[in-house]
Structure formats: C-alpha cells, structure tokens
Amino acid sequence: MERLKVAFIGAGSAIWSSTIVIDLLINEGLRERGLDIWLMDISDSRLDIIYGFAKRYVEEMKANARVYRTKDRREAIKDADFVINSAMAGGHGYYERMREVSEQYGYYRGINSVEWNMVSDYHTIWGYYQLKLVLDVSRDIEELAPDAWFINVANPVFELSTLIPRKTKVKYIGLCHGHLGFLKAVEVLGIRLAEEKLDEKVNALCAAKDPRGYAAVAKAVDPRELKVEMTGFNHVIWLSKFRYMGEDAYRYFDEWVEKNAEEYWRIWSEHVTSPFDIDLSPAAVNMYKVYGLYPVGDTVRGGTWKYHWDLKTKQRWYGPLGGPDSEIGWAMYLAHLRIRLEELSRAVMDQSTPLVKRYPPRPSGESLVEIVEAIANDNPKESYTLRPPAEGAPPIPVPIQVNVPNKGALPGVPDDVAVEMPVRVDGKGVHRKVLTPLPRKVMSCVILPRMMRMEWALTAFLEGGRDLLVEWLMIDPRTKSTSQAEEAVDAILKLPENDEMAKHFR
Amino acid sequence: MERLKVAFIGAGSAIWSSTIVIDLLINEGLRERGLDIWLMDISDSRLDIIYGFAKRYVEEMKANARVYRTKDRREAIKDADFVINSAMAGGHGYYERMREVSEQYGYYRGINSVEWNMVSDYHTIWGYYQLKLVLDVSRDIEELAPDAWFINVANPVFELSTLIPRKTKVKYIGLCHGHLGFLKAVEVLGIRLAEEKLDEKVNALCAAKDPRGYAAVAKAVDPRELKVEMTGFNHVIWLSKFRYMGEDAYRYFDEWVEKNAEEYWRIWSEHVTSPFDIDLSPAAVNMYKVYGLYPVGDTVRGGTWKYHWDLKTKQRWYGPLGGPDSEIGWAMYLAHLRIRLEELSRAVMDQSTPLVKRYPPRPSGESLVEIVEAIANDNPKESYTLRPPAEGAPPIPVPIQVNVPNKGALPGVPDDVAVEMPVRVDGKGVHRKVLTPLPRKVMSCVILPRMMRMEWALTAFLEGGRDLLVEWLMIDPRTKSTSQAEEAVDAILKLPENDEMAKHFR
C-alpha cells in the first residue's frame, strides 16, 4: 500500500489542526499505511506552531508519518490523497472590522447576520474572499490532485458545499461537528429516565454541570438503544428521528419541557461558563415549540431576529452570556481562541514536557479521520463512537454526518443544494440514505428562507454588482430606509481590505 | 354535441363576469354547442345585476344560451363542464379593515404586503377565508363535477394554483391577464423603431397617451415578427424572451432607457390617470437594471420595500399616484370598481337602451373563453389575438398563459409549485413547453423569496398556530420588535369577522 498524502490548507488554524493530527496519528487503520502530512498556511508564525507540534508529536508517538511545511498551496496539494481545508480568508480581525462598520449604520452584528445564520464567523454575503479562496483551492485540486478527496471544514460549510460541487469536479465532503449537539437531547432523555426508572432526580445536577448528574444519565440511557437522525442544512439541522428502545423519545423531551425546564434554566443560568452552552436554552425549547423538532447544535444559534434583536433579547433566550453570537459571547470566544493558541505555542516550545502529556493521544470525537480511514481503507462506516461519558458506560455511537449535494435524499430540497445528512462512507466515497422528510413548518419557515439566503450569497459572489448587496438588506428587519442599506454597503466596500471586493461589487 | 354547462362562482364580481359572459356569447366556436350559464353568488343584489345583464344580453344577441341564477354553490357546480371562480371571501371592506388594524401597529399596507407581493388584494397570510373558500369549491367540483375544468381567476392565483392541485384532483387552471403587460415592452420597441426606421419621434406622444403615438407604434412594429416568452410566478413574471425579426429586442429597450426614459417619465407623470399605468415607470426600469429582465405586468407592483417604504417612496418609483397599491392608487381603484358596478347596474335597469350599445359584442382580450373553446372543441391553441391597436394594423398574437404546477417546465422550480407559463391547450387540457431558464439573479433574489412566502402562507393555512403568523413578521423590515409583531397579529385576530380564523391560528 502506498503512503497517504494528507494536505492541510490553513493548517495555521492550529488548535483544530493539532486535534486532527493527533486523530490521524493514533488511528489504527491508518498506522500501517504511513502518512505524509503536509501543513500549509500563509502565516509563518502559525505554521511554526503547528509544524513544531506535529513534528514532535510524531516523534513522541514514533508514528509512521512524515511532516512537511510549506507556504505554497500548490505544493501541498499536488498528488495529495486528502486535502483538508480550514482556512478563513482574512482572519477574524477583518470580519470584526466589517461588523463594526455595519453597526455604525444600524446593522447589529453585521450585514452578514440574517435569519438562520447568526453565526458570527459564517461569512456569506460579505464572504467574497472566503468563497473565492475555497473555490481556488478546489481548482488547484482539480488540476494537481484530481483523485483527491477534498474535505472542507471551513465555514460557510452550507454555501461552500453547494458552490464547490456546482462549479468543480472535485470529490467534495463538507464537515461540521454541530450534530454532536444531539447529545443534549440524549441528556434530557437521561434526566427523565433517571427520574422515571431509577428514581434519581438529576435535572439540577445536570444544569449545574455536576459530573454526578452526567454519571446518572449515563447509567440511565443505553446508547445502543438510541436511533437518531439529523437533517437539514449545515447549522440548520433538526432531530427528525429520536427513538429509544423502539419508542418515540420526544415524549421525554416534552416531559422535561413541562416538568424540568424552568428549574434547569434557573440553575444553568447561574452556572454557565461557555457562551456555547445553549443546547437546552429557552431559545432551543422555543424553537422546538414553534417548529416541532429539536434544533440540533448550532441550529439553536440561528432563528429569526426574534431571538437576536439586541443583547438583552439574546440574554433572554440564550442566558447571561447571550449565546456565542452576542457581543459578550463572541469576545469570549475570540479570547478563548487566542488563549488556546498561546497554550499550544508554549507547549510546543517547552521541550521539557512531552506533548502527549498535555495533549493526550485520545480520539477527539471529530469524524474527519474516521471518514479518511473509511475511504482510504475501503472500510464501510455509518457511525463511529465517542468515548463513554462516564466510567464503565458503553461508548456512544454517532452517525457519520456530511454536507453534500442533496441528490434526492431530503424531499423538497433541490438536487444541487448541499444537505447535511447521515451517510455511509467507504472506498467509493459517500452513499446517501433515504431520509425522513422534514415537517412542513420546518421546510417553509426555515429551510426555504435559509436556502434563499444561500442562493443569494452565491449569486452575489458569482455575478457581482452592488445591487445584490443593497437588495440583501432590503429584506432585513434592521433596515429602515434604502439609504441606510446603501450607506452600509458603501462603507463596507470602502474598507482598504475590500479593494478587490469593491471592484467585484461595483 | 351536448350543451356546455359553465358555472360562475362569485358571479357577483359583476364587471368581470359580464366581460366573460360577452366573450362566451360571441365566441364562434361555442355558438353551435349551446350554453347553460349558471351564475352563483351569495349576494342577492349582485346576482340581480349580473343575472339581469346576462339574460338581456342573450336576448339581444339571440344567442343559443340559457341563463340560471342560484345562491347554492353545489347546484351551480353539479355536472358543470367548466367552473369559473372569481369569488373573494369577505369582499374588499374586510381586507381594508385588516389593513387599517395592521397600520395601527406599524405595518404600512397591512401584514399581508411583503416582498414581491405588494398587491393590495392578493391575500396570502391573512387570506384564511379565501384559501378555504376556493379549496371548498374545488372539493365540491371533485364530488359533483369530477370531469369539469376548474378555471380560477381569483387571487391569490399563485398560492391557489399551488394549493388546489396539491390537495385535490380537479382539473385546474389558474388565470390572470397580467402578462398582457408585455405590450408595453412592444410599445418601447415601436417607439425606437419609429425613430430608427421611420424617423418619427413618438416617445413624448406615447408618454402622453396620444393616439397618434400608438398609431405610429402600430405602423412601426409587425407583431407577427415578435417572439416573446414570459415565465415565473403569477404577478412575478419576467420577459425571458423578447425577439423581433430574429434579433434580441432587448437592445431597443436598452436604447429607450438611455435615450427616451427621462423624457417619457417627465411627460407621463403629468398625464397619468390610472394608478395601474406603471409598466414603464422608474420602478420597472430599475427592476430591469437590477434583475436583468423586463418585469411584466403586475410584477412591477412587487419588488422589495425599497419601492414601497411609504407613499413618498411609492410616488418616486411609480409616479404621482404611487401605483395601484398606494393609499391613493388603491382608493382610486376601489372607487373605480364601485363606479363601474353602478354603471352596469343602471345599464341593466335601463330597458330603453340596448346593452349591446353600452357593452358592444367585442372580444375583451381575456384568454379565458379562448381556453374554454380550445378545451371544449378540442381545438389546439398556443395563442390568441387581440384587436389591432390602430386602424389597418395586423392583430397582435398573445401567448396562452396559465398557472399550473411546474412539473419540470421551468428549471429550478419544484414540480408541485405553480408556474405561470405559456402552454398549448386542447381537448386533453394543458400541454407544457420547454421554457427558457430564468437568470440566476431572478431565481435567487425574486423567485426563491416569493416561493418562500407562498409556502409559508400555505403552511399557516394548512397547519394553523399563532407562531407562524408572528414569525411571518419576524422577517419583515417593518418589524422593530417581537411585541410589535405579536400585538399586530393579536389585533387582527380579534376582529369580529376573524372569529373562525382566530380559532385556526390559536
């Protein structure tokens, strides 16, 4: 068997890349193949960190792997078997500047934030450079590694997973880990089962993130008896199937909403430390009530402006930090990224402590390397397992979930629009399943509006013209007048970084 | 051959019904068949007028037709060959009251007016009774006249033409005459050709509605050399093909925009008498510039709030009357309807003057009876002709244009969504053609947003629940807060006429 060449584009997303490097190096199925890991980034300093990390980790693990660094994207891609993209053109600072300018014209959180995409780094209408970058990467792959699999984890996954297969011939998979949010529905199931079957009241413990709560939940739920299905668009997926021991498990969720939610929120709001801890927030429950299904993972961050008018509104629905996409939550997240990068950097420089001590060789829970292995070794897979949540508990199976053109899998969505769906993966790639249709309310009031914004952003990217940007704001509740929209668009296009973008949208 | 039974539901839409009755009575192809015309309405007084009219017209024309009146819908429908519906549940006054309440809560022109549906009597989200009425009519037809053709001209044609074929088995055709708006693009062609080929400058004459202008246009354009195609959704159709003598005729439109439009607007705005005279307004030209195709007929009335923020904005784009959907234009229209009904009523009562003198036996230009004849006599037809615009000019062919489920005709639109399209009609019904795809901008920024609002309105109608009404306003630029939306919805549902509707949306 030939060695596998795996290229990381935007490897300087170092926290994430380090996680995947560990997953690659510890994967049993890949050990025999031998790995050539190519790390590419445009930033020398970030490349230093991840290259230093990977190099040392390989040595410490005595792994059958070689590590290369380059700033030349084409060199990294040439003859690769897998190209993994996590690059974000411009970096966070650039988008924060566009957000700031937007807010001067009355567009809280930026002109990019719209219904069902309030995620602060999911760049669509103002994502010109990002869409262009990933399209360029894809074209390099078409030319230099036509047989490679392109696994893109960079946002906007929905837009990119629609755009790239439409415009190129690369073998494409879009990935996100948001679907792991379904575990919070399982936690609810556990809270109810612990009370019903074991007579243990653990709702308050779980709300306080007390390990005893999780242990009770793990004892109450046998994960092998779970059947879940999550579908929709990336960041807009819904728990369309939730069964336990052969029965509809939504009844437990209904009971929790009725009997436990208020107590949970009272305690949770006093214990919340992460702005991302919103899977069981009032917003999640309200979305469930309005649309009829549990909104999984990042889906909760979306919704209409009803949940997002201002910080106060966000705090009402998402707790004291206002969720990750409030001014509080996002500042915390950006600081957290910097802290973790500094930690990684220091760990790499500190030769006295083995990296494996600080970053133990344990599977991260990400599906990416599971998918790489399934394809590389033609090892059919529909799910993988997470480490058990508590000592002695069985591991939790998680569906392999990807973003690929729908091609008939989800009823009511066009074939060439990317759907996030559970699939089987093997040497031939991705195999779609027959999916549970989403309810009419979700289709009409969520899927269609989100699809419209995606098509709009792609049209603006592909065709240019200032009108499409102004019109984007004409259907925005923050817009009070045409001139407000025009001035916001003009101010954004006048940023020095946006010279090229301004030409495109002239 | 058996006599044809034609039932008019909502026959009390008397102006319109009288027009169609004339078309029926003068149609050569139907004369031999013999007609049983059933006029049904719930209003005695309106039924008096149209029954009196039809009865006298038949006598004056010595037509082979019998006229019946009834308030029993099922009696009218039973064993009919054609059922024609023009009923609007509640009448104009009811919707004006909902508009008034909406405006008290900041929803100018009512919560029903949204992007690409600003038409004041195209009732979608608040059209509960109207959607229910037409669905009930369809179910009566399924039961009592399963072989009948159901020709619906009542708005909302787009929503109804999607709903009825989804929910019933009736042979359905949705009709509108908005596509006749393409004649205004032909006028532009004529203005340019008159100047280019005949050296006659008639732009100012046409803007002033001077018959000499139209005569010159008729002389300059040979309508047999025209090729047009209009597609999209009802009230949102675009001139996707516009060819003259084998070449792309959009170049004439471009030249007119560049050389004549300013002059046209200056004169037009001083001569405009009808709020509907907006086909060549600044709004139409702006839509053409933004979306790349000429917006046909009622399409111009749509667009985003950019054209509709307030009366002043509407006047800027649609001229001094602000278009038909401004407070000025709509009041004029409603008064105009009352005036014409009074005229008709007086004409029917005035036995001294023959009706044929006041309402001459000439084809109205509506396609409805052309379609009835094509189906009844199995007489294949793709177009019909309008009377020549000037003495000696050739008649103008107009495509037969219907609203039916797409079934693959227009690329990018789901099969079960109604598309307005040119078709061939014969005894077997409607035959679709291969349609020119609409440009990406129109698809992303017009067709998708409009389709979303249609699906939303149908979901609200079919499933009920107050949330769907409130959420409808959450993506509306007029909404400033959640409570504003909630209060508007509650106030509308509290109207005494909305008792039943309020139960549905509880």
User: Across-strand partners of B296?
Assistant: B237
Q: Which residues contact A171 (CB under 8 A, 6 or more apart)?
A: A147, A148, A149, A150, A429
Q: What is the pLDDT of residue A387?
A: 85
Candidate from A290, A475, A482 with C-beta closest to B471: A290
B184: alpha, beta or left, given left = phi > 0 and alpha = psi -120 to 50?
Answer: alpha
| Residue A477 forms contact with B (CB below 8 Å) | yes
Q: What is the pLDDT of residue B388?
A: 79
| Residue B159 forms contact with A (CB below 8 Å) | no
A182 membership: H or E segment, kind and range: helix A182-197
pLDDT tens digits, A299-326: 999 999 999 999 999 999 999 999 999 9
Q: Which residue of A has its CA nearest to B115?
A: A475
| Positive or negative: CA dihedral B415, B417, B419, B424 | positive
Residues B25, B361 contacting (CB under 8 angstroms): yes
Q: Which residues of A touch B440 (CB under 8 A)?
A: 459, 462-463
Q: What is the pLDDT of residue B392?
A: 78
A70 membership: H or E segment, kind and range: strand A65-70
Q: What is the pLDDT of residue B366?
A: 95
Residues A266, A280 contacting (CB under 8 angstroms): no
Q: Closest Cα partner for B109 from B371, B488, B453, B495?
A: B488
Rounded CA separation B192/B195 (Å): 5
List phi, psi (to 5°) of B83: -115, 125
User: Across-strand partners of A381?
Assistant: A425
| Residue A414 forms contact with B (CB below 8 Å) | yes
| Residue B481 forms contact with A (CB below 8 Å) | yes
For A294, which DSSP code?
A: P
**Residue ranges of chain B with per-residue pLDDT less than 50:** none
pLDDT tens digits, A327-369: 999 999 999 999 999 999 999 999 999 999 999 999 999 999 9
Kindly report the nearest CA distance between residue A450 and chain B, in angstroms. 10
Cα B189 from chain centre: 24
Q: CB neighbours (10 Å) of residue A297?
A: 25
Cα A160 from chain centre: 13
Predicted confidence band at A392 (pLDDT cuts at 50, 70, 90)? confident
DSSP A218-252: HHH--GGGEEEEEEEETTEEEEEEEEETTEETHHH
The average pLDDT across A200-221 equals 94
C-alpha dist (Å) from residue A6 to A479, B3, B100: 46, 78, 64
Candidate from A115, A451, A456 with C-beta closest to B445: A456
The count of residues in chain A is: 506
| Residue B166 forms contact with A (CB below 8 Å) | no
Which residue type occupies B97? R
Q: What is the pLDDT of residue B98?
A: 98
Q: CB neighbours (10 Å) of residue A327?
A: 16
Residue with token string 């044809």: B4
Rounded CA separation B255/B276 (Å): 24
Q: Which residue of B has its CA nearest to A476?
A: B477
B298 is catalytic: yes
The β-bridge relationship of strands B4-9 and B82-85 is: parallel
C-alpha dist (Å) from residue A254 to A201, A300, A303, B103: 17, 17, 21, 38
Candidate from A289, A449, A456 with C-beta closest to B475: A449
Q: What is the pLDDT of residue B341?
A: 95
Predicted confidence band at A1 (pLDDT cuts at 50, 70, 90)? low
C-alpha dist (Å) from residue A49 to A63, A339, A346, A466: 19, 14, 9, 40
Q: Which residue of A has its CA nearest to B287?
A: A467
Rounded CA separation B377/B356 (Å): 27
Q: CB neighbours (10 Å) of residue A130?
A: 25
Q: Which of B177, B310, B336, B426 is catalytic?
A: B177
Kindly report the nearest CA distance between residue A258 and chain B, in angstroms. 19
Rounded CA separation A207/A264 (Å): 5
Q: What is the pLDDT of residue A501?
A: 98
Poorest-confidence range of A16-20, A28-32, B33-37?
Answer: A28-32
Q: Which residues contact B403 (CB under 8 A, 6 or more apart)?
A: B157, B158, B161, B173, B174, B175, B176, B234, B418, B419, B420, B421
Q: Closest Cα partner for B87 from B179, B156, B20?
A: B156
Q: At what angle do helices A327-349 and A44-61 cross, to 10 degrees?
A: 60
Which residue type occupies A151? I
Q: Which of A81, A279, A298, A476 is catalytic?
A: A298
Residue with token string 């509290």: B494
Kindly report the nearest CA distance between residue A285 and chain B, in angstroms. 14
C-alpha dist (Å) from residue A325 to A297, A310, B335, B378, B504: 14, 11, 51, 63, 36
Residue A280, classed as helix, strand or coil, is coil
C-alpha dist (Å) from residue A364 to A177, A336, A386: 11, 18, 8
Q: Which residues of A touch B468 (CB under 8 A)?
A: 441, 445
Q: Closest Cα partner for A121 from A267, A337, A317?
A: A337
List phi, psi (to 5°) of A426: -150, -165
Q: Which residues of A touch B111 (CB under 8 A)?
A: none
C-alpha dist (Å) from residue B222 to B65, B188, B242, B243, B392: 38, 13, 14, 12, 12
The average pLDDT across A469-474 equals 96
pLDDT tens digits, B250-290: 999 999 999 999 999 999 999 999 999 999 999 999 999 99
Rounded CA separation B433/A75 (Å): 50
Residues A432, A407 contacting (CB under 8 angstroms): yes
Rounded CA separation A351/A53 (Å): 11
B416 is catalytic: no
Q: CA geometry: angle at A393 spanning A390 and A398, to 5°?
A: 95
For B155, which DSSP code?
A: S
List own/partner pairs for B208-211 with CB under 8 A and 24 or more apart: B208/B267, B208/B268, B208/B271, B209/B271, B209/B273, B211/B390
Window B:286-325, CB contacts with A under 8 Å:
289-290, 304-306, 309, 313
List phi, psi (to 5°) of A129: -70, -35
Rounded CA separation B241/B290 (Å): 17
Q: Closest Cα partner for A488 from A473, A504, A468?
A: A473
pLDDT tens digits, A394-447: 889 999 999 999 999 999 999 999 999 999 999 999 999 999 999 999 999 999
Q: Which residue of B has its CA nearest to A441?
A: B459
Cβ distance A462 to B480 less than 8 Å, yes or no, reads no
Cα A433 from chain centre: 22
Residue with token string 């993966």: A425
| Residue B224 forms contact with A (CB below 8 Å) | no
Q: What is the pLDDT of residue A393?
A: 81
DSSP B218-277: HHH--GGGEEEEEEEETTEEEEEEEEETTEETHHHHHHHHHHTHHHHHHHHHHH---TT-
